[in-house]
């Protein structure tokens, strides 16, 4: 169904035929994209396709993904005509999120246009609250810089508080990401700590996430910085083992651990399972133990998934999306991987598995043949 907007709220501004036609282009693209994404996701989840990626799925399905560029062009036509009415904001928001889906060769020009409009018109506009998280998660350095500017000078206290919260909580996963250099990690850690302390000291009463005030919501971030950073001893944790009893993390002390936070609906999580199985099989005799930690809505979903593809050959825990472990450890993205040595010291954290291979191999004492079995697969993949 194409949505025709005759007006967009009390601040509708210029909503003439040209803008309505342009918005119909956006809506058509969104419908086509949604259908294609559903087909690809369903195909990847089918047994036997776990190691396949988006490109494999589109080839197998004979699927041509919709071209985002005409829709982004249409959205910017709307926004440039009137960037501050509701239709203009909706179009600008759409264009921002679709920047990732247009060709790199032309992306920078469109990115310049989107960020110029946001920087010019929305630093003090509460509607920007709807994309603060997206700016941090998908906007790269420029998105982080824009949120920093909001925190520094917006006249809206809510935007300042929520911007600081999202900056701290979303960038937390980058603090110890070994795909980044030591200097980059140190700089990110300092910036995250600054934002977290700012939330705690200045915006403790601002509602920032799921009805929580900043002073309460920021505690997991501070907890992770103090207890789960690389070099710290990982805290005790308890969870239900799928098909078994409650277990504790300390039961596995003496093993090098790979903790994998995942869910059955997470396509990258499923795609990584063959790599995790290879690690488990190759290094299993070296006191290496994988513990997958599901945050699905119910344990039954995980059990059904395991039955459809055979039992996963390692320890599988279920905690759920509202568990104390999941929230206290501030796991924001899936998958999230944490490597722990035999003494319980955190060696590395990442949202990707490959950057952690070397710390796993070094901590287990893998020999040349075992290293080749892991790194050779990486090189050939």
pLDDT digits (tens, 9 = 90+) for 177-231: 887 888 988 899 999 999 999 999 999 999 999 899 999 999 999 999 999 989 8
Supply the pLDDT for residue 266. Answer: 92
Instruction: Using alpha carbons only, give the angle 61, 380, 372 rounded to the nearest 5 degrees.
Output: 140
Name which of 206, 199, 65, 54 is nearest 129 in CA terms: 206
- Return the pLDDT at 197: 97
Query: In whole angstroms, what is the distance from residue 333 CA to residue 262 CA?
Result: 9
pLDDT in the model for residue 339: 97
Low-confidence ranges of the chain (pLDDT < 50): 1-13, 379-381
Q: Is 290 exposed, middle or buried (0-12, 13-18, 19+ CB in 10 A)?
A: buried
Q: What is the pLDDT of residue 377?
A: 56
Ramachandran class of 310: left when φ > 0, alpha when ψ lies in -120 to 50, beta otherwise: left
């Amino acid at each position: 169904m194409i949505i025709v907007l005759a007006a967009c709220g009390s601040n509708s501004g210029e909503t003439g035929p040209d803008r309505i036609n342009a918005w119909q282009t956006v809506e058509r693209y969104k419908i086509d994209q949604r259908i294609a994404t559903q087909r690809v996701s369903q195909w990847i989840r089918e047994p036997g396709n776990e190691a396949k990626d988006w490109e494999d799925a589109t080839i197998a399905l004979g699927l041509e993904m919709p071209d985002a560029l005409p829709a982004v062009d249409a959205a910017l036509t709307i926004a440039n005509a009137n960037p501050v009415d509701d239709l203009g904001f909706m179009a600008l928001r759409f264009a921002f999120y679709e920047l990732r889906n247009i060709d790199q060769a032309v992306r920078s020009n469109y990115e310049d246009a989107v960020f110029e409009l946001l920087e010019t018109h929305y630093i003090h506009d509460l509607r920007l609250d709807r994309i603060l998280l997206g700016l941090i998660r998908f906007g790269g350095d420029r998105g982080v810089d824009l949120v920093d500017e909001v925190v520094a000078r917006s006249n809206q206290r809510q935007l300042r508080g929520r911007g600081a919260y999202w900056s701290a909580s979303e960038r937390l996963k980058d603090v110890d990401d070994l795909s980044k250099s030591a200097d980059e990690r140190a700089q990110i850690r300092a910036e995250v700590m600054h934002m977290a302390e700012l939330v705690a000291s200045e915006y403790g009463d601002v509602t920032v996430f799921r009805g929580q005030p900043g002073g309460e919501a920021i505690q997991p971030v501070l907890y992770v910085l103090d207890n789960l950073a690389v070099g710290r001893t990982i805290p005790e944790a308890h969870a239900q083992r799928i098909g078994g009893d409650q277990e504790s993390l300390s039961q596995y002390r003496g093993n090098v651990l790979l903790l994998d936070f995942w869910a059955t609906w997470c396509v990258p999580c499923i795609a990584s399972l063959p790599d995790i199985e290879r690690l488990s099989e190759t290094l299993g005799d070296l006191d290496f133990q994988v513990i997958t930690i599901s945050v699905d809505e119910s344990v039954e979903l995980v059990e059904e998934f395991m039955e459809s593809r055979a039992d996963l050959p390692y320890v599988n825990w279920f905690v759920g999306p509202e568990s104390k472990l999941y929230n206290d450890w501030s796991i924001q993205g899936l998958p999230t991987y944490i490597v722990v040595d035999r003494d319980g010291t955190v060696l590395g954290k990442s949202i990707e598995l490959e950057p952690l291979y070397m710390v796993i191999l070094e901590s287990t004492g893998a020999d040349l043949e075992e290293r080749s079995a892991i790194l050779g697969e990486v090189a050939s993949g």
